[in-house]
Structure 1
Amino acid sequence: MKRNLLLTIFIFCLCQIGLAQSLKKIGTLERKNDSIFVVENGKYYIVNKNVVTVKLKSGIDGFEKAAQKIRSNRLGYIDLVVPEGIDLEKYVSVLEYTGKFDIVEYNNIGQYCVITNDIERSNQWYLNNINAFNAWDITMGSSNTTVAILDSGTDWRHPDIGNGSDGYKNINEQAGWNYISNTNNVITSNGHGTRVTGIVGAKSNNYIGISGISGGNNSVGITMIPFCVGIDAPDGSIIDDAIIDATDSGAKVIQLSLNVAQTNAINAAIDYAVQNNVVIVCASGNNYSSMVSYPASHQNVIAVGATNKSNVRANFSNYGTSLDVVVPGVDIFSTTLNDGYNSQDGTSFAAPQVSGVAALILSVRPDLTGQQVRDVIEQTTQKIGGYSYVTTSGRSNGTWNQEMGYGLVDAYDAVYAIAPRISGPSTVCNQATFTITNLPQGATVNWTCSSGLSLSVPNGNSTATFQSFPDLITNVYGWVQAEIQMGAGGDPSMMLRKENITINKPRIQELIVPAIANTGEVLTFTCTMYTPWNANWTITPNTGFSMNDLGNNSHSHRVFTGRKL
């Protein structure tokens, strides 16, 4: 009822007879769950529900006071506050109906697009395909997140993986193991594992080489532990031991780009890892087959197929009932032996992209279970390639296709879906409460705010209440900010901010005086509302009483006396 009443008021204040002419708009609007997006050139931008931008028609100098202006510019564009309690699309329709505007348009929240400076990044076409650049606006990986690389060994001396001139590394070679030589020296003559390692976590934004999916921002990214499970080919007898050792070493993601015949030992090791909340990612295989290879075919493993540059299944990529997701697997540029770089094809080089995305998710939300990480990866995929994705028994994370699985992994959508963010009103009248959704378990929060607001509850919680400043004489616009201290297991801290909050000047308060009193009787009333020094007070009923403000120099407590006349 309140929303309908508010909408009626705005229609009365703003509307005139006659329909508005067709207005200029860019992009289309689309709803996904509780969010509204502007879709432009296939890219989704979340709509700012607090602000609408308009431009008046020529010859119209202004509009009714019911519309609250935030700012205007010399080109005639005006930003208006969307009144609290009114649906955004309905409000836009009301403004359009007035016929006073050439333009009424939605605003959206964009992203600061991280484009790394690694000199070979232009060869990594797959980064844009899986939306890595936008994901990096949220996180580029935390050293508290560990990924185990079970492969042919890794050249940890490579400057884009281990210590180089930049003075840091993304690999803990001492924690790894070479099961062939029974030493922790995992450097071998086969560059397969070095290539896989670079895709997952080569150092990013460090002016050399490539950008790993979770390689940090010119600083330490994730921590990788390399295991050699066979030099020329993987040894099935080793893989179960390596999975168990990786789990016991604290890995939260295990990366496999291999296939072997199924064994009870490997099945048991996979189950052990999953029971310890480890995400296992494996390549589907390169056999041109309609059956996914093992261990990717295991139900507790994310099976990753390969696509080409046309966003269709690469012809060599195994597919079938066990396939879960796809990412690019053709012309994949990465690190190799002798400090080098080159490109190769294969699902071997698709799977580590998914392992990198899983590491990004855990860098933001270290409290998630392995199943939750898997679910969000599968639920946020892009349905590409013109394939028919359908509801399938046993596939609970969305529509599915046997050649593409749930679809193309989207790094940004996956990370954004679980990332902490601030929710709360767009307007503060006297006080308002803001909450961080998706707050990791065990994290603490330090809240701050702009001028015009003050924190009114103890800090450190996921929810905070702010008061508008008592001496405001006009409305202002401000922000609230939360610094999240993750603790062990994730990024040391994350900074969130909610902008463009309307802070209303305090409203006139009303003191209710009892109407029943004897003539000449002195009455004392106490107001405990939070009030400014310059508040205007009225008496209700306003006849038959006189009132004095005794004023005890407190905003939160004033004492009044009145006498019945």
Structure 2
Amino acid sequence: MSKEEFEFQKFRKSGTILPFIIAALCILTIVFLLRKCNSPNEFWNGSYPNYSKITPIFPDKPNVLKPIDTTKIIIPDDPLKRPILSNLLNVYVQDTTNLKLFSKAVINTYIDDSISVTYFADAYKRVQFEVPPNRQKQLKTQIKEDFQLVKFVCYESIISNNQSKSDPGFSNLEYDWFYRQIGLYRAWNQTMGDPSIKIAVIDDSFDPNHEELVNQIEKPWNVFEYSDKVRVYNSKSVHGTHVAGTAVGEINNGFGISGVAPRSKLIPIQIADGNGMMTTSSILDGIFYALKNKANVINLSLGIDLSKAFGSLTEEQQEVYANEIYLDEAAMWNEVYEIAAKEGTIIVQAAGNSAVLSSLDPMKRSKATIVVGATDRNEKTAEFSNYGEGVDIYAPGVNIYSSVPNQQFKQMDGTSMASPIISGCVALIMSVDKNLTIADIKRLMNETGKTFNGRDNLIQIDQLLLKIKAL
């Protein structure tokens, strides 16, 4: 037994190493005898075997996701009824863990399950295992129990982008109503953003040649293709282009309308495969790419459809579920968001379109992000918007006019549209004062927002910037 084989046993929580020592001595004795008697041995070549060749551990390249196998998509027996891939588990370990040794330990501990590694990210200590579908649920529990270095074990979930339900633009009251409602025109007297402030939009796909985006883009990335070629795979993939245009579309180009922060820059990060599917892993890869490339703001117009699972429950019943389900996954997302906050990056995310409490979604429970609900033209909560104490601020999300592929524009609904409005506002805020923390920004949003429903606040960016200036 090699030294590397021996060391990985230290990852186990319990058990003795004595049987392994005895086995190693037996193997060495046999090898010695074979050499002495010159017996033929096809495995012997004068050196100890290369363990990595006997048990392949990692794919050739890190951070490269395999295409989504749609035949493995199932709806698990749990409250969220969220689609997952039945053959994958994502395991997150302590920062000091040697991923290769840990992976070998897992593979050899459950040797009968023929586990393999499909993906790994050493920079943030995450490894994805392919497991037998009939053992996925048990292994999810066992791996965390058997290895003390494991922090979280989560499914590979299929995430939606909250698809909508359904410069000439500035002269149309139907198109620019939300600019006026949040005080954006007055805010632009102070700033339209700054090229040093970069908004990373993590979404399904982008039209990089759209007139609203072509001059705004820096450092694009396509997660599944592992390249800088962002694109639109089919005519239905309009979401990312619309979101990006709402946040940072170009101004004074004689075309369409503009984003909330038109002088800032865009990092488009495409996280959907050719079928428009996004996963937990592709989102995480997008976030860490944005952090690596010094994004100041990250927009996540993504989430889970919660209406079927929870739409008929009372708020009290929903609160019980929010406090009991997917705690491991919520803790994982919170840790990622806190990493971003320490880097000085503000994450803004859509609350969701299921008309339920936003905190039912484990992605939305952290205090280290800004969760955005949607309002309508009457400054009321949009009928589809998620709500509750987990929503930090509201922004218009009905009939939002912005770019879609092929030099087109469209009005769309959703908290997906409200979120980039807030991302643009955060870029304006950071253009005035880059030192504000996420806690500072959330406090200022609520102190200067327009209160409705007696508890919620609609962003008023002009008043917020004035308050910063007065500080």
For Structure 1 versus Structure 2, the TM-score category normalised by the shorter chain is 0.5 to 0.7
Query: Number of aligned pairs?
Result: 275
Q: Counterpart of 1:290? A: 357
- Summarize the Cα distance change of 1:291–1:202 in structure 2 as closer, same or farther, 3 Å threshold: closer
Q: Counterpart of 1:330? A: 398
Give the CA deviation at 1:259. 1.1
User: 8 Å contact 1:151–1:257 — kept in the other structure?
Assistant: yes
Note the 1:453-532 alignment, pairs <5 A. none
Q: Counterpart of 1:178? A: 222
Q: Report the Cα distance in structure 2 between the residues aligned to 1:417 and 1:297, rounded to whole angstroms.
A: 28
Moved over 6 A (4+): none
Give the CA deviation at 1:264. 4.8
Give the CA deviation at 1:382. 0.7
Q: Report the Cα distance in structure 1 between the residues aligned to 2:459 and 2:348, rounded to whole angstroms.
A: 13
- Summarize the Cα distance change of 1:251–1:349 in structure 2 as closer, same or farther, 3 Å threshold: same
The letter for the 1-side match of 2:209 is R
Gap regions ≥5 residues in structure 2: 1-166, 305-325
- Summarize the Cα distance change of 1:119–1:315 in structure 2 as closer, same or farther, 3 Å threshold: closer
- Tell me which of 318, 329, 336 is aligned to 1:269: 336
Q: Report the Cα distance in structure 1 between the residues aligned to 2:287 and 2:172, rounded to whole angstroms.
A: 32
Note the 1:17-28 alignment, pairs <5 A. none
Q: Counterpart of 1:366? A: 434
The letter for the 2-side match of 1:249 is N
Q: Over residues 381-420 of structure 1, what are the superposed CA-to-partner deviations in whole Å (9 max), with x where a residue is unaligned?
A: 1113xx22xxxxxxxxxxxx2xx3xx0001101111113x
1:212 aligns with 2:259: yes
Q: State the SS of the aligned residue for 2:335.
A: helix
Larger gyration radius, structure 1 or structure 2: 1
Give the CA deviation at 1:265. 4.2
Q: Report the Cα distance in structure 1 between the residues aligned to 2:391 and 2:170, rounded to whole angstroms.
A: 34
User: 8 Å contact 1:256–1:281 — kept in the other structure?
Assistant: yes
Q: Report the Cα distance in structure 2 between the residues aligned to 1:296 and 1:274, rounded to whole angstroms.
A: 15
Gap regions ≥5 residues in structure 1: 1-115, 163-168, 216-220, 389-400, 420-436, 439-565
Q: State the SS of the aligned residue for 1:350.
A: helix
1:345 aligns with 2:413: yes
Question: Which structure carries more strand by proportion?
Answer: 1
User: 8 Å contact 1:296–1:303 — kept in the other structure?
Assistant: yes
- Summarize the Cα distance change of 1:280–1:121 in structure 2 as closer, same or farther, 3 Å threshold: farther
Q: Report the Cα distance in structure 2 between the residues aligned to 1:332 and 1:187, rounded to whole angstroms.
A: 22
Q: Report the Cα distance in structure 1 between the residues aligned to 2:220 and 2:332, rounded to whole angstroms.
A: 21
Of all paired residues, the percent bearing the same amino acid is 30
Q: Counterpart of 1:279? A: 346
User: 8 Å contact 1:147–1:251 — kept in the other structure?
Assistant: yes
1:148 aligns with 2:194: no
User: 8 Å contact 1:289–1:319 — kept in the other structure?
Assistant: yes
User: 8 Å contact 1:304–1:325 — kept in the other structure?
Assistant: yes
Q: Counterpart of 1:200? A: 247
Indicate the structure whose relative CO is greater, using CA pairs within 8 Å and at least 6 residues apart.
Answer: 2
Q: Over residues 1-44 of structure 1, what are the superposed CA-to-partner deviations in whole Å (9 max), with x where a residue is unaligned?
A: xxxxxxxxxxxxxxxxxxxxxxxxxxxxxxxxxxxxxxxxxxxx
- Tell me which of 367, 378, 387 is aligned to 1:319: 387
Give the CA deviation at 1:241. 2.3
**Which range is displaced more, 316-325 or 346-355?**
316-325
User: 8 Å contact 2:212–2:249 — kept in the other structure?
Assistant: yes
> TM-score w.r.t. structure 1 length?
0.47
Q: State the SS of the aligned residue for 2:258.
A: coil
Coordinate RMSD, CA, aligned? 1.9
- Tell me which of 267, 275, 282 is aligned to 1:225: 267
User: 8 Å contact 1:204–1:211 — kept in the other structure?
Assistant: yes
Q: Over residues 302-343 of structure 1, what are the superposed CA-to-partner deviations in whole Å (9 max), with x where a residue is unaligned?
A: 111111111111111011221111111111111001110011
- Summarize the Cα distance change of 1:291–1:364 in structure 2 as closer, same or farther, 3 Å threshold: closer
